[in-house]
A = this chain, B = another copy of it.
Amino acid sequence: MAKRRKYLLKRPKATKTLNQVPGTMTYVGNKVSTETKLDVIDYNETNYERFSSTTPEDAFKFVDEDRITWFNIDGLNNVEEIEKLGDYYELHPLVMEDIVNTGQRPKIEKYEDYLFIVAQMLYYKNGDLENEHISMVVGKNYLLTFQESNGDVFDAVRERIEFSRGRIRGRSADYLMFALLDAIIDNYFLVIDDVSDRIDALEDSLFTSEPSDHITYDIQELKRNILRIRRAVFPLREVIGRLERMETILIEERTTNYIRDLHDHIVQISENIDIYREMIWGLMDMYISTINNKMNEVMKVLTIMASIFIPLTFIAGIYGMNFEYMPELEWKYSYFVLLGIMFIIFMAMLYYFKRKKWL
């Protein structure tokens, strides 16, 4: 169980960076890739080029004022390559540190020539919720993205660039930034849809299956997940809000409407999260009430059985006594009369419990 918790904290165990000189770049995540992969997409309205698995040095040759260049790095433990990029675009040392420090919460920082944005991608992998640190640097005609591992939610954006769908090829780097944030946020919808499904499934199993600690555990797991999702989404909402109001030449007037749209989306997600949170917190009460219900059922069965047969056994016990002088014993019909009386008691008890609605 200890395994899951590390994602909650997000900042990996403090011991790794404790007492480290501030501004030092050390990757602290637990998604160690064997290699750091650099992927470059270079485009404008008319041109499009893509270089997969290239080196920074090769890539810099193609950087051109007239074109947007998108550098994407997968894998953060190869600090050198990231430093080359950082040096080329003159990033602040603390930005460099934050890029590899996957413990950061979503934030936006405005520097003179660029914006620095940190966000969290969320996805389910083998049924477990995973979150991945992603940081973005947006400059005048370039955009850098840094991810912890291979695979992301940006393939649709790449296709829109390649096949020139929508407005993306005609806009600047800020629109690309919007498109990527949009992809991240759209993906949150998938994640909370999944949470919603799990709540449904859990509710169903509350009513259909026997109570078991497994359900308690699943509810706690859901709580943990919704809290983690909340931690990724709520600070990002602030980020988008600040982005909307930010005055900078890096963001064009016409992009602002799109960012407002983004803000609408993330507010909507936040509201859903809070609703699901209340639903999940209610699940435990529901569960306790169903256990109590079931216990009540069990008690009724016991009480009915015991209340009917214990008195009858007592009566039988009386006539099992060995006293020498018990007049009833000798009478010929005693036995049958007694069986009759027992039957009447039996029926009376049944009627009593029926009227109490226990049967």
- Chain A positions 250 through 275: 1 when the CB is less than 8 Å from some CB of chain B, otherwise 0: 00000001100100100110011001
Q: Complex Cα distance A2/B257, Å?
A: 35
Nearest residue (CB) in B for A107 is B264
- Whether A340 sits at the interface, judged by CB under 8 Å, is no
- Whether A55 sits at the interface, judged by CB under 8 Å, is no
Nearest residue (CB) in B for A217 is B207
Q: Complex Cα distance A293/B199, Å?
A: 21
Q: Is the CB of B227 within 8 A of A257?
A: no
- Chain A residues 112-137 with CB under 8 Å of chain B are none
Q: Is the CB of A166 within 8 A of B267?
A: no
Q: Is the CB of A306 within 8 A of B314?
A: no
Q: Complex Cα distance A324/B312, Å?
A: 20
Q: A104-B264, A105-B268, A196-B9 are in contact. Are A313 and B305 (CB under 8 A)?
A: no
Q: Complex Cα distance A1/B197, Å?
A: 10
Q: Please report the total number of A residues contacting B with Cβ < 8 Å.
A: 123
For the complex with contacts A296-B298, A320-B322, 13 further pairs of A-B residues with Cβ separation under 8 Å are A1-B204, A11-B268, A14-B190, A19-B156, A21-B166, A24-B166, A94-B261, A107-B264, A220-B282, A309-B310, A309-B314, A324-B332, A325-B332
- Whether A285 sits at the interface, judged by CB under 8 Å, is yes
Chain B nearest CB: distance from A3 CB in Å?
9
Q: Which of A17, A224, A278, A285 has most chain B Cβ within 10 Å? A: A285
Partner of A189, one of B18, B212, B312, B321: B18
CB<8 Å pairs between A and B, sample of 18 = A1-B200, A2-B200, A5-B199, A14-B190, A19-B156, A22-B258, A24-B166, A206-B213, A213-B290, A216-B290, A224-B279, A305-B306, A317-B317, A323-B328, A324-B329, A324-B332, A325-B333, A326-B335
Partner of A311, one of B186, B298, B305: B305
Partner of A306, one of B103, B310, B317, B333: B310
Q: Is the CB of B317 within 8 A of A275?
A: no
- Chain A residues 190-238 with CB under 8 Å of chain B are 190, 192-193, 196-197, 199-200, 203-204, 206-207, 210-213, 216-217, 219-220, 223-224, 227, 231
- Whether A357 sits at the interface, judged by CB under 8 Å, is yes
Q: Is the CB of B284 within 8 A of A285?
A: yes
- Whether A84 sits at the interface, judged by CB under 8 Å, is no
- Whether A300 sits at the interface, judged by CB under 8 Å, is yes
- Whether A47 sits at the interface, judged by CB under 8 Å, is no
Q: A92-B257, A223-B282 are in contact. Are A292 and B288 (CB under 8 A)?
A: yes
Q: Is the CB of A323 within 8 A of B329?
A: yes
Q: A278-B223, A320-B317, A321-B320 are in contact. Are A213 and B207 (CB under 8 A)?
A: yes
- Chain A residues 170-197 with CB under 8 Å of chain B are 178-179, 182-183, 186-187, 189-190, 192-193, 196-197
